[in-house]
Amino acid sequence: MTAPIWEGLTAEEHEFQYNPQRSVPDFEAARRRRDPANTAALETLKPATDIAFGPGALHGLDLFRPAGSGPFPVHLFFHGGYWRAQDKRNFAFLAPWLVERGVMVATMNYDLCPAVTLDGTVASALAGMEWVAGNIAAHGGDPARITMSGHSAGAHLVAAGLATDWTTRGLPADMIKGALMISGIYDPTPAMRTSVNADIRLTPEIAARHDYEALPPRASCPAWVMAGGEEPEHWIGQSVRYARHLRRHGLRPGLLVTPGQHHFDILDQYLDPRSDLLHLLARLIG
pLDDT tens digits for 177-217? 999 999 999 999 999 999 999 999 999 999 999 999 999 99
Averaged pLDDT, 35-58 = 98
Amino acid residing at 260: G
In a domain, 1, yes or no: no
CATH number at residue 277: 3.40.50.1820
Average pLDDT on 125-140 reads 98
Sheet of 141-151: strand order equals: 48-52, 60-64, 104-108, 72-78, 141-151, 176-182, 223-228, 254-258
For the chain, how many structural domains are there in total?
1
Instruction: Please give the pLDDT value at position 88.
Output: 98
Instruction: Tell me the average pLDDT across 92-116.
Output: 98
Q: Domain range spanning residue 233?
A: 11-285
Per residue, the 3-state secondary structure of the chain, as one string, reads: CCCCCCCCCCHHHHHHHHCHHHHCCCCCHHHHHHHHHHHHHHHHHCCEEEEECCCCCCCEEEEECCCCCCCEEEEEEECCCCCCCCCHHHHHHHHHHHHHCCCEEEEECCCCCCCCCHHHHHHHHHHHHHHHHHHHHHHCEEEEEEEEEEECHHHHHHHHHHCCCHHHHCCCCCCEEEEEEECCCCCCHHHHHCCCHHHHCCCHHHHHHCCCCCCCCCCCCCEEEEEECCCCHHHHHHHHHHHHHHHHCCCCCEEEEECCCCCCHHHHHHHCCCCHHHHHHHHHHC
pLDDT in tens, 105-115: 999 999 999 99
* Summary mean pLDDT of the chain: 97
- 145 has pLDDT over 70: yes
Output b/e per residue, 126-146; b: 16+ Cβ within 10 A. Answer: bbbbbbbbeebeebbbebebb
By percentage, how much of the chain surpasses pLDDT 90?
A: 96
Residue 2, pLDDT above cutoff 80: no
* For residue 161, pLDDT beyond 90: yes
In a domain, residue 182? The reply is yes
Q: Decide if 124 is inside a domain.
A: yes
Domain-located, residue 59 = yes
Top pLDDT among 99 and 5 is at 99
Confidence of residue 70 (pLDDT cuts 50, 70, 90): confident
In angstroms, the Cα distances linking 226 to 101, 131, 133, 205 are 23, 27, 25, 27
4 in a structural domain:
no
Q: Are 282 and 149 in contact (CB under 8 A)?
A: no
79 in a structural domain: yes
For residue 129, is pLDDT > 70? yes
Q: What is the mean predicted confidence (pLDDT) over 122-148?
A: 98
Q: What is the model's pLDDT at position 224? A: 97
pLDDT in tens, 224-238: 999 999 999 999 999
Burial readout 41-69 (b: 16 or more C-beta within 10 A, e: otherwise): bbeebebeeebebbebebbbbbbbbbeee
- Is residue 73 within 8 A of residue 142, CB to CB? The reply is yes
Question: Does 3 fall in a domain?
Answer: no
Predicted pLDDT of residue 286: 86
Domain membership of residue 5 (yes or no) is no
pLDDT of residue 4: 87
Reported as a pLDDT band with limits 50, 70 and 90, residue 3 is confident
The pLDDT assigned to 263 comes to: 98
Q: Is the pLDDT of residue 1 over 80?
A: no
